């Protein structure tokens, strides 16, 4: 996910554009009472997107992975999870990051940022083709939040794998070879489409080459945090993040998520 902004709009508010970070954009949004358009995959809730940006910069995903589905009592001891929800509350309280702050959109929002109709937006690399030759848009990538490097979440929509006992293994292997072959992706790169293939991404220029930064440096800490938690937790995580983005903070969000996950009726 990337924050994009209109250079001229930002220059009217922020003196040193080299110091733009997510917090400065959120402050600008609050003081100018501007909504933040957001273009996300259909299956991703806005509150979950905000939580993912925070979580990927506050927790070690490897800890979640190695402690996957460890049970109710052990999960409660992962205190860093509550810090994510605490910071969501800070964003809500101090920067006005609430449900009304965001405006659902699609990749066409890039053109509105380009024209200055809206000052900034939160988009994914799916919008990269729209940003190809923009002269007025800049991207907040490797900037800082409170002296911490931004660690953008990388969203994975699909995984392709082979069953160990699958039939027609030779055909499956040939198909997987096709999917992993550089040439299959280079044509996409020439069309301005960002993929996970480095050779194809080398075809990208300008702002598109900046948008691939989260993918090019991605590691286990860029995986959205809820993918390293049991799937049965997700509805309870969404419930709590929605509460938070609507201004309801209890201070025990993580404990509530864990309790509901492991005590609900099967």
All residues at 6 or more sequence positions from 59 whose CB lies less than 8 Å from its CB, including other chains: 80, 81, 83, 84, 225
- Residue 144 is predicted with a pLDDT of 45
Residue 44: pLDDT over 70: yes
Strand partners, 123: 2
CA distances from 103 to 27, 36, 151 (A): 17, 6, 23
Task: Name which residue leads in pLDDT, 128 or 174.
Answer: 174
Summarize the confidence of residues 247-259 as an average pLDDT. 96
Question: Residues 195-215: pLDDT tens digits?
Answer: 777 777 666 666 666 666 666
User: pLDDT, tens digit, for every residue of 116-166?
Assistant: 888 888 887 766 666 666 678 877 755 545 555 556 676 666 667 777 777
> What are the tokens at 178?
């096709």
Q: Which CATH number fits domain 2-155+212-263: 2.30.30.240, 3.40.50.720, 3.10.440.10, 3.40.190.10?
A: 3.40.190.10
32-36, 86-90, 150-154, 188-192: least confidently modelled range: 150-154
- Mean pLDDT computed over every residue of the chain: 80
| pLDDT for residue 215 | 66
Let me know: does 187 contact 169? Beta carbons within 8 Å: no
The DSSP symbol for 135 reads S
Q: Locate the domains of the chain by residue range.
A: 2-155+212-263
Say whether pLDDT at 15 is over 80: no
**Tokens coding 90:** 């800070």
Q: Which helix (H) or strand (E) holds 84?
A: helix 80-95
Instruction: Identify which has the larger pLDDT, 258 or 210.
Output: 258
b/e burial code for range 184-203 (CB count within 10 A of at least 16 → b): ebbebbeebbbbebeebbeb
């Amino acid at each position: 996910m990337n924050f994009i902004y209109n250079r001229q709009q930002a220059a009217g508010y922020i003196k040193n554009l080299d110091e733009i970070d997510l917090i400065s954009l959120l402050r600008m949004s609050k003081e100018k009472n501007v909504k933040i358009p957001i273009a996300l995959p259909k299956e991703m809730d806005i509150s979950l997107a905000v939580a993912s940006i925070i979580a990927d910069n506050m927790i070690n995903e490897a800890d979640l992975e190695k402690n996957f589905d460890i049970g109710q009592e052990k999960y409660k001891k992962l205190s860093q999870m509550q810090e994510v929800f605490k910071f969501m509350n800070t964003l809500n309280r101090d920067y006005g990051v609430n449900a009304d702050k965001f405006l659902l959109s699609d990749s066409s929002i890039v053109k509105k940022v380009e024209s200055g109709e809206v000052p900034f937006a939160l988009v994914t690399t799916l919008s990269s083709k729209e940003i190809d030759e923009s002269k007025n848009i800049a991207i907040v990538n490797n900037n800082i939040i409170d002296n911490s490097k931004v660690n953008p979440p990388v969203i994975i929509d699909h995984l392709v794998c082979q069953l160990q006992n699958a039939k027609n293994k030779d055909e499956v292997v040939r198909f997987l070879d096709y999917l992993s072959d550089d040439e299959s992706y280079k044509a996409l790169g020439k069309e301005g489409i960002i993929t996970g293939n480095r050779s194809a991404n080398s075809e990208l220029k300008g702002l598109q080459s900046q948008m691939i930064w989260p993918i090019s440096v991605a590691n286990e800490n860029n995986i959205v945090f809820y993918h390293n938690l049991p799937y049965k937790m997700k509805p309870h995580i969404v419930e709590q993040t929605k509460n938070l983005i609507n201004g309801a903070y209890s201070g025990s969000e993580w404990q509530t998520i864990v309790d509901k996950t492991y005590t609900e009726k099967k």
